[in-house]
Amino acid sequence: MLIFIALYLDPGSGSFLLQLLIAGLAGAGIAIGAQWTRIKKLFSKKGKNVQDENDEDESDDE
Amino acid sequence: MMKTRATTNNRVLSSFRDPSGFLFHRDGLLYRQVNQGYAADYEKLISSGLYESLTKSGRLVPHREVELVPEERTAAYKVIQPEVVRFISYPYEWSFSQLKEAALATLSIQKRAIQRDMSLKDASAYNIQVHNGRMTLIDTLSFESYREGEPWVAYRQFCQHFLAPLALMAWCDIRLGQLSRIHIDGVPLDLASRLLPRATFLNPGLASHIHLHARAQRDFAQANVQEARRGRKLSREALLNILQSLKTTVQKLSWKPAGTEWAEYYSNTNYQDEAFRHKAELVGSWLASLKPGLSWDLGANNGYFSRIAAQGQGTYVVAADIDPAAVEANYLQCRKDKQQNILPLVLDLTNPSPAIGWENRERDAFLARGEPDAVLALALIHHLAISNNLPLERIAAWLAVITKTLIIEFIPKTDSQVEKLLRNRPDIFPDYSREGFERAFTKHFRIEKCAAIHDSERILFLLKRV
């Protein structure tokens, strides 16, 4: 097993397992969120929200 | 160059947990030794383009590789020299937006690392510093190769160092940011979960990353992870979803100061415009001739005078105030103006950040983190002497320990701000007068300049330590 061999930080067993548990939830949440944003856009006249600077960071990479 | 931080045999004492390498000082300069065990990850950080991408956007501190005899030769792979951060600050000294930006910076770095097959192996708030006006990762050795299918090792640390204090500040009370000072590895999630209001169970992000997380920590504390996961893997996409969920959760947290004492001080001060203008002019002209490299503006409020101090070439101003709302306002203004040489910090001068952590030497005391060339103490003395009953003599002695050059404003009892402080209490301050002030301060300083501020009874002093 790869895991826990090279780790210097204890990830915490609960924290580790929780990520496996919530992965599906996070994915579903994001999908619902994305749809919701699309719906809101349909009814909103406002332009695109101002991006925070971390979004700008990420666009550097893309 | 910063005053040397706590060191043993040149090694920086905050730098001991990660076997990948450590920081050390030599001839007054700061270096980082990269150990052989970290060689492959270090090379991958460079060759993957992650280093270039992150340093270009100011998210990772740039460094150069140097030919230098390593501090511990047997383990050494390379020695690097990182750019020096002007002033080290800690999460419990940050305002809400500073901590929030540090959190978002960490998530952004992690996302970009994953895209290049690397991952943050820690997510400590102490690894983030304000550098050139940006929240910047200062630990070059924080990256490791991403192992496909594995959860994020630093998820717990991220939630404890960033999400829990931010949620508590936003939902309960801004002062709970101070919990980070007690809990050096971040706010325990069971504590955060107990303190947060029930309404946060309806917030999907907080419900999963704090409440459910705390529960999982309790229920799986003794679990054998390999057995419990039954071969399940976390895909890269799922990991990115968790990062996105953390980001959304953090972004949605907000705090608006309301009812804090001094946040609107400048709008309701008794200062006539002329007095304010004259004080600014005096401070500006005195500082222009002093040309301090590092200034501390103590009791900086929203940073009006810090901005005047920051006009000097190459100068850097640490703007400390006890009021989280004033510091927040100052920080947001700096961000708006893209002002890079002011660092607003939350600090109670009557109880400044102590040295904490292992051996009490892991995180330095505020006063040990650099020697200011000049200190501004404007509209401050009455808070210390009257609100906090500090004898003028003790205040003078303390300031003389900190700095050689002091610009300090004396505010007499007849000033409306002092009258307010004395309104409901007996005046037990017979020495609080201009004469008493000069008597106390001239034991440690000589008066270089002194000017009455127009349209007020206040006096501005430029003092030099004797």
Shortest alpha-carbon distance between residue A49 and chain B (Å) = 13
| Whether the complex's predicted ipTM surpasses the cut of 0.90 | no
b/e sequence B284-301, b meaning 16+ C-beta within 10 Å: eebbeebebbbbbbbbbb
Write the residue in A14, A23, A58 that is nearest to B108 by C-beta: A58
Q: What is the pLDDT of residues B68-82, one digit of tens each?
A: 999 999 999 999 999
Instruction: Find the CB nearest B18 among A2, A8, A22.
Output: A8
A–B interface: beta-carbon pairs under 8 A: 134
**Res A54 pLDDT > 70:** no
Choose the mutation target among B116, B160, B208 for the interface with A, i.e. most A CBs under 10 Å. Answer: B208
Residue of A nearest to B189 (CA): A15
Identify the contact set of chain A against chain B, taking CB-CB distances under 8 A: 1-4, 6-9, 11-27, 29-30, 33, 52-54, 56-58, 60-61
Q: Are A9 and B153 an interchain contact pair (Cβ–Cβ within 8 Å)?
A: yes
| CB–CB contact A18 B245 (8 Å) | no
Please list the rounded mean pLDDT of every run of 10 residues in chain B (466 residues).
57 82 93 96 98 98 96 94 97 98 98 98 97 96 96 97 98 96 97 98 96 95 87 93 96 84 55 84 96 97 94 94 94 94 97 94 93 96 94 97 97 92 89 96 98 95 97
Contact A57 B17 (CB under 8 A): no
Provide the 3-class DSSP secondary structure of residue A36: helix
Q: Looking at residue B222, what is its pLDDT? A: 87
Minimum Cα–Cα distance from B143: chain A residue: A7
Is the pTM value of this prediction over 0.95?
Answer: no
Best probe of the B interface among A1, A5, A54, A56, by most B CBs < 10 A, is A54
Residue with tokens 């690894």: B127
Give the Cα separation of B218 and B220 in Å (integer). Answer: 6
Q: Which chain A residues contact residue B215 at CB under 8 A?
A: 14
Could you tell me how many residues make up chain A? 62
Per-residue model confidence (pLDDT) at position A59: 47
Asked whether the beta carbons of residue B251 and residue A14 sit closer than 8 angstroms, the reply is: no
A14 contacts on B by Cβ (under 8 Å): 156, 213, 215-221, 223
State the nearest Cα–Cα gap between A11 and chain B, in angstroms. 5
Give yes or no for a contact between B83 and B62, defined as CB atoms under 8 angstroms apart: yes
Chain B residues whose beta carbon lies within 8 Å of the beta carbon of residue A1: 226
The secondary structure of residue A60, as a DSSP letter, is H
Q: Which of B157, B218, B220 is nearest residue A9 as measured by Cβ atoms?
A: B157
Nearest chain A alpha carbon to B246: A26
Domains detected in chain B: 1-255 (1.10.510), 265-465 (3.40.50.150)
Closest-CA residue of chain A to B229: A17
**Cβ contact B245–A26 (<8 Å):** yes
Enclosing H/E stretch for A23: helix A13-43
**Does residue B171 contact residue A27 with C-beta atoms inside 8 Å?**
no
Query: A59 to chain B: which residues are within 8 Å by CB?
Result: none
pLDDT at residue number B263: 52
Closest CA to B337 of B312, B303, B313, B288: B303
Q: Which residues of A touch B157 (CB under 8 A)?
A: 9
Contacts of B218 in chain A (CB under 8 A): 14
Give CA separation, B394 vs B28, B348, B375, B381, B398, in Å. 32, 16, 16, 12, 6
